[in-house]
Amino acid sequence: MFSTTQLNIPGEYNELNSSFGNIQKSPLSIRDNKVGIGTNQTNAATLNIKGGMRAEGGALQPGKDNNTGYSFNNGDGSTGISSRKDGQVGVYANGMEVASFTSENGSPSLAVNGDLWVKERFFPPTSNQIYYVQAGNGMVWDVYNFSKDPGGRINLVNNAFGNNKQQQWKLLPGDNGYYWIQNVNSGLVARFSNNIMDQQNQQNGLASQQFKLIAAENGSYYIESKQEPGKVLTIANTTYGSTIEMTLQEKNNQPNQKFLFIEPSKSGKNDASLIKLGSDEKYQISETPNALAINAESGTSVAFTNGSANNLTIESNTGNIATRGAATIGGGATIGGGATINGNTEVRQSLTVSGNSQTNGNLNVNGRMTVKNAAPIISKTIYGNPKPQSNNWNSKYCLVDTGIPKNDYIGIVAGYDISEYDARDDNKGRFTMRIIDNGNTNLQLEVMIYADQDVNSVAVNAIFFRKEMVEAR
């Protein structure tokens, strides 16, 4: 059986009674169509309810079927949240539904009317984590001249976010949300006293050494002094040497009062925006410096589909890329794994393939093409040093390992250069250069030169073709 609370409102609305007794210091305010319990300023009211609250009526979009709404103070009540009779919950801004939440077939969904902007991720600073403290002008806290002594000045300097210990700080937790801010290099804590920001030995009861972080926007914080509540650290107009000083001023929502706490590993950047998809967040779309990254859980492939066909698939374990249609790459292309392309491919600049490459269509490369490992065609320059045979000084001979496996490739000689010698100028000159299989694992270059003069070295250009590309005749 439920018990109910009876509210008795006297005529002048200056007292609120219940079966539990009077509610002290919580007058009911009804003025200018505003109703609330507990006023904090003229014509303003707040209502604090522990539990749930139901509001009847409140159509936030004229002419629509909203039946429950919560309006925010934007002048005409057209901004807020409202439920609808069809089961959706709409979010409205200036009379327009910008997003809606619904459940279809037992599955919740979010619809966004317009652009979806996933901004940078910001995490509140945590105790004992190392940070750079960066001001709105891009400069960071720095202990002057690397000082490890009490009284060392703390100012703002430019920083490349290197491993500068005198510019790194830890938050040591105190009471009631206050922190000591400790320098990593000296072990001393920051203090603001007598209009000077310096470092001192930690003293637990000293208010000038304790600061509170107040969230601003975009991950930045005001740093409020416990010694002067309501005042926050502010970039001053004064300098100390080649650095800029800080002072305490009333909070005024200006950039010169907002600071970022940046981990050294972030190199001056906040965490990239991130979208997580699927059960257990198996898929992630994130922003990296100058790139968009799509990450999948190990053992999961990423596919771009059109209907039932996967036009582009990135395989989970190998990183291979498979495309079913034509591919056009306007810039250079680097493929670290294997590539299977069933359509035509056009690369307008350079192409580098480090793994297997198989194309069932045409491959057009307008720039330079570099193919490594198990490539379909390999061009290679092989160097040798022919030596005279023991039984015939005029006969020079060498056998050079090409490094190309004989089970996968066949090779041909495409050109040569014999150092300081041209067989055509020698009446006795004749030579043979060929790629042979002599039983070793790799193909060999065999060079035989008959000449009555020394041959210092020879360079042979050879082309190797994968056997499956060559039709036997």
Kindly state whether residues 184 and 219 are assigned to the same domain: yes
The C-alpha atoms of residue 92 and residue 66 are separated, in whole angstroms, by 11
Q: Is residue 85 part of a domain?
A: no
**90: helix, coil or strand?**
strand
What pLDDT, on a 0 to 100 scale, did the predictor assign at position 43? Answer: 47
- Reading the chain (473 residues) residue by residue, the pLDDT tens digits are 334 444 444 444 444 444 444 444 444 444 444 444 554 444 444 555 544 455 544 444 444 555 455 655 555 556 777 776 666 787 877 777 788 888 776 677 888 887 777 666 667 888 989 999 999 888 899 999 899 999 999 999 887 566 789 999 999 999 899 999 999 999 999 999 888 899 999 887 899 999 999 998 888 999 999 999 999 999 988 666 667 889 999 998 889 999 999 888 765 455 556 677 766 677 777 766 566 777 777 666 777 776 666 666 766 656 666 666 666 666 666 666 566 666 666 666 566 665 556 665 566 666 665 555 566 788 889 999 888 888 887 888 999 999 999 988 999 998 888 876 665 555 555 788 999 999 999 999 999 888 777 787 899 999 998 887 775 44
CATH value at residue 427: 2.60.40
Give buried/exposed letters for 370-397 (b at 16+ CB in 10 A, else e).
ebeebbbebeeebebebeeeeeeeeebb
Provide the domain count of the chain: 4
Extract the tokens encoding 78: 């057209």
Kindly state whether residues 258 and 193 are assigned to the same domain: yes
Which of the listed residues 375, 394, 413 is the one where a domain comes to its end?
375
What pLDDT, on a 0 to 100 scale, did the predictor assign at position 106? Answer: 66
CB of 270 within 8 A of CB of 219?
yes
CATH value at residue 183: 2.80.10.50
Strand runs labelled E in 226-376: 231-240, 243-250, 259-262, 274-277, 283-288, 291-296, 302-306, 309-314, 321-323, 327-329, 333-335, 339-341, 345-347, 351-353, 357-359, 363-365, 369-371
CB of 180 within 8 A of CB of 209?
yes
Kindly state whether residues 351 and 252 are assigned to the same domain: no
Kindly state whether residues 364 and 449 are assigned to the same domain: no
Range of the domain at 394: 378-469
Q: Is residue 36 part of a domain?
A: yes
Cα 256 to chain centroid distance, Å, stands at: 27
- Residue 122: C-alpha distances to residues 219, 223, 275, 403 (Å): 5, 17, 14, 53
Extract the tokens encoding 334: 């680097």
Q: Is residue 7 part of a domain?
A: yes
Which of the listed residues 342, 375, 408 is the one where a domain comes to its end?
375
Kindly state whether residues 262 and 383 are assigned to the same domain: no
What pLDDT, on a 0 to 100 scale, did the predictor assign at position 16? Answer: 43
Strand runs labelled E in 122-204: 130-135, 140-143, 154-157, 169-173, 178-183, 189-193, 196-200
Kindly state whether residues 30 and 145 are assigned to the same domain: no
Q: Is residue 93 part of a domain?
A: no
Which of the listed residues 218, 248, 266 is the one where a domain comes to its end?
266
Q: Is residue 97 part of a domain?
A: no
Record the pTM.
0.46
What pLDDT, on a 0 to 100 scale, did the predictor assign at position 8? Answer: 44
What pLDDT, on a 0 to 100 scale, did the predictor assign at position 33? Answer: 44
What pLDDT, on a 0 to 100 scale, did the predictor assign at position 5? Answer: 40
Kindly state whether residues 139 and 236 are assigned to the same domain: yes
Q: Is residue 101 part of a domain?
A: no
Kindly state whether residues 369 and 395 are assigned to the same domain: no
Kindly state whether residues 387 and 359 are assigned to the same domain: no
Q: Is residue 156 part of a domain?
A: yes
Kindly state whether residues 245 and 349 are assigned to the same domain: no
Q: Is residue 262 part of a domain?
A: yes
Kindly state whether residues 304 and 410 are assigned to the same domain: no
Kindly state whether residues 196 and 254 are assigned to the same domain: yes
What pLDDT, on a 0 to 100 scale, did the predictor assign at position 422? Answer: 60
